[in-house]
Amino acid sequence: MSMKSYDYTNRKGSRPISWDEFAALSRQLAERLTDAEIIIGIARAGLFPATAVACSLRRELYPVRVTRRVNDEVRYSTPIWRVPVTGEVAGKRVAVVDEIADTGETLALVAARARALGATQVRTACLVSHSWANPAPDVCTLVSDALVIFPWDQQVFIEGRWQSHPEIVAGLNAQDKDAES
């Protein structure tokens, strides 16, 4: 299935994840990545599970930033590089960690860059993957085609007050409108 990223009308319901569930999923991810010598976390939100995994496994964490967004708003149709992969990956087994695999493109870009820099093994990993992610991550703790609502996205601070994340609200509204038609 080919799908445009951030097209929430095709999501099937919503799937909130609590901080406790995030911790449990992160522990499961760590258990499946014990052979990694280096953890690469994809900023921004991928740093949450990447940090949990790196701390749990007592491994070095190196952040990268590949994104379609500027200040949390989608601005690019394909991901662009902001912070590159470190050369420390050369000769190492690497796990590239993100919070979600939507299209799979971001994980694949970072993995390819790590391989090009000489990593001996690269595994992609995430907390959640949609079934249409292509390529699919090597390791994933939850597959869901719902609109996944991570704990850090449930409330954001905008104009002096905490409120529902506008993108989550828009995604839920898009599902409601699709259900009405």
Judge contact between 29 and 84, C-beta under 8 A: no
Across the strands, what pairs with 140? 126
Supply the pTM of this predicted model: 0.92
CATH number at residue 29: 3.40.50.2020
pLDDT of residue 73: 83
1 domain-assigned: no
The dihedral over CA atoms of 137, 46, 61, 63, expressed in degrees to the nearest 10, equals 110
Q: How far is CA 114 from the centre of its chain?
A: 17
Q: How many CB atoms lie within 10 A of CB 134?
A: 14
> Which among 160, 129, 169, 171 is positioned nearest to 29, based on CA atoms?
129
pLDDT tens digits, residue range 29-52? 999 999 999 999 999 999 999 999
5 domain-assigned: no
**Count of the separate structural domains present in the chain:** 1
- Give me the domain span that covers residue 92: 16-146
10 domain-assigned: no
pLDDT of residue 178: 64
Assigned token pair, 10: 């095709």
